[in-house]
Structure 1
Amino acid sequence: MPAHHPLPSSQPHPEATSTEIHLDARLVLGEVESVDVPVRFGYRSDDPLAVALEFLGLAADAGTWRFSRDLLWEGLQKPAGLGDVRIWPPCTCHGRAALRIMLRNRDNVVLIDLPSRQVRRWLRREAFVLVPPGTESSAIDWDAELHGLAS
């Protein structure tokens, strides 16, 4: 699967801070079949609305996906998302203790399971500390954004 939402090619803002977490995910291949894949979630204060999910190792061809930090948080609580990124919280009634994310482009669909506690902890202790929820717009360099649109 080619990269769907690449990271911006521009260099991070000099004052930007970032955090990342490496996780072992399970790529769901069927009802009873899955394979381990390493992934990395990243968050940057100069891109305060999005998280990046990057596939590593042999799964690197799946690329890097960017989607809403709020969507990831909501998906830890209840089913969330429409379109190309959907997220489901752990569902103990169906025997699934992991956070499930579906990524879809026009050619492929990928389901991955992630350790929900680690994702929740990373968001709370790191990403939300860098840019607290509700303050994202104050972390955006609006002059640079407008300049980019005008160019």
Structure 2
Amino acid sequence: MPAHHPLPSPQPCPEAAGTDVVLDARIVLGEDQSLGIPVRFAYHRDDPFAVSLEFLGAAAEAGTWRFGRELLWEGLQRPAGTGDVRIWPPCTCHGRASLRIMLQGQDGSVLVDLPARQLRRWLRRESFALVPRGTEGSLIDWDAGLSGLTG
């Protein structure tokens, strides 16, 4: 009988193209009203500065939003962002343990509460393991980008 060897837990590796995580989020409808929805955060080496937030299920019409990975990380620590994407960290003084993201588009805005611990863990263990903070620029072919701009 062959020996049984436990499989290692999945870990992102440098050769991996990307990573994602599905989280249970809440769309804030009012002071004491919210709607539970699944969302997917994704990160890919071919776009090393950005993460995407995709609404799933009944909220899929809200689409997919792309914004800076560093903005998301900063928002876990302190209020961050201006314009279309604004992020607030958990606020224990108000009894809120979730990360709050406001997305503003041409058709309106949506306020989303996300589990901060799970998101922080995914960023640290998977996204930053795939491409460490501060090394994103090394994955960009700057010469090709400049060449494309100058014709």
Q: Tell me the TM-score normalised to structure 1 length.
A: 0.86
**4+ long deviations beyond 4 Å:** none
Unaligned runs of 5+ in 1: 1-14
Which entry has the higher C-alpha Rg, 1 or 2? 2
**Once the two structures are superposed, what CA deviation does each residue of 1:22-81 show, in whole Å capped at 9, x if it has no partner?**
001000000100000110000001100000000001100000000000000000000000
Matched with 1:101 is 101
**Once the two structures are superposed, what CA deviation does each residue of 1:80-135 show, in whole Å capped at 9, x if it has no partner?**
00000000000011111100000001231100000000000000001011111111
Unaligned runs of 5+ in 2: 1-14
Q: Residue 129 in 1 paired to residue 129 in 2?
A: yes
Aligned length: 137
CA distance in 2 between partners of 1:59 and 1:147 (Å): 40
- The offset of 1:148, in angstroms, is 4.6
Change (3 A) 1:148 1:40: farther
Matched with 1:5 is none
CA distance in 2 between partners of 1:150 and 1:127 (Å): 32
CA distance in 1 between partners of 2:24 and 2:78 (Å): 22
Change (3 A) 1:37 1:147: farther
8 A Cα contact 2:16 2:130, kept in partner: no
- The offset of 1:149, in angstroms, is 3.7
8 A Cα contact 1:19 1:127, kept in partner: yes
> Considering only aligned residues, what root-mean-square deviation do their CA atoms show, in Å?
1.5
Matched with 1:116 is 116
Q: Residue 56 in 1 paired to residue 48 in 2?
A: no
Partner SS for 2:93: helix
- The offset of 1:21, in angstroms, is 0.2
Percent identity of equivalent pairs: 71
Q: Which protein is richer in strand relative to its size?
A: 2
- The offset of 1:146, in angstroms, is 3.7
